[in-house]
Amino acid sequence: MVYLEKFVVAVKVDGKILREYSDIVYLPFGSEYSVLLKNLDSRKCVVDLDIDGENVLDNSRIIIHPNDSVELYGFKKNSRVTNKFKFIEKTKEISDYRRDRIDDGIIRVEVTFERPQPVINWNCLPQYYSLNDTIKYNWDYTAQSITLYNCGAVSNSCTTTMGYDDGITVKGSDNVDQTFQKGYIGLLEDNSTVIILKLKGINENKNEVLIPVTVKNKLRCKTCGRMWESKHKYCGSCGTFLE
């Protein structure tokens, strides 16, 4: 999982979280995957999600509540997901037809948090305000009249380096039942946070990935060969950084 500015992004295959190597996630060609988004802040946030340079949320955004998460299973159309995400090899035939794009194989998540709620000193409000007037005043100040989407119920059926990559995401199976509902959020901060992941089906040794590399897979130290659980950042034997 990638953690940045109180937000977590992870790629999952068969319900298991995949390991990242820096900003790279290895998974077999033909895999259907999902994207897990988790908000660890005490404020709401909105999320934009692009894959291969294209918005997969039908040009809307997802609201994620504080300390909550959304697992997106595929391409959203209107208020529901129609097809799962499927990672396939970008063959020569595909490249010749659709052309190579600079952000092929890249998942881009942009997160914008809600501004902190203002603190109102009730003793300083004009005396001619009634309680209802005061509530309306507060609501008008914090509300932002934009329509977004918040994830609804989900059924069980279900790097920053740009350049040529070896795989792309296409529409997969349609046996997915994930729906969304409209929601609202307060004024947003001016700055956003961007998290990038690169999907690859070919590993660093130029071999095709046959099994998804999950966080439960042990890491082998390149210096002494010892195996360690993913929670370890350094080899307990020789001190080498594990990657």
pLDDT, residue 204, reads: 81
Q: What pLDDT is stored for residue 138 in this prediction?
A: 34
Q: Residue 58 region, left (φ>0) first, then alpha (ψ -120 to 50), else beta?
A: left
pLDDT value of position 70: 93
**pLDDT tens-digit map of 26-53:** 999 999 999 999 999 999 999 999 999 9
pLDDT for 118: 72
| Euclidean distance between CA atoms 22 and 102, whole angstroms | 19
Where helices occur in 9-161 by DSSP H, the ranges are 92-98, 131-142
Nearest to 197 by CA among 120, 75, 127, 105: 105
Say if residue 91's pLDDT is above 60: yes
Residue 136 DSSP label: H
Instruction: Please give the share of the chain, as a percent, with pLDDT higher than 70.
Output: 76
* CA-based torsion, 172, 105, 75, 41: positive or negative: positive
Q: How far apart are CA 39 and CA 6, in angstroms?
A: 7
Each residue's pLDDT tens digit, 129-179? 444 444 433 333 333 333 344 444 333 333 333 334 479 999 999 999 899
Q: How far apart are CA 10 and CA 19, in angstroms?
A: 8
Q: What percent of the chain stands above pLDDT 90?
A: 52
- The torsion angles phi and psi of 55, rounded to 5 degrees, stand at -70, 125
Question: CA distances (Å), 123 to each of 117, 127, 128, 159, in order?
Answer: 18, 9, 12, 51
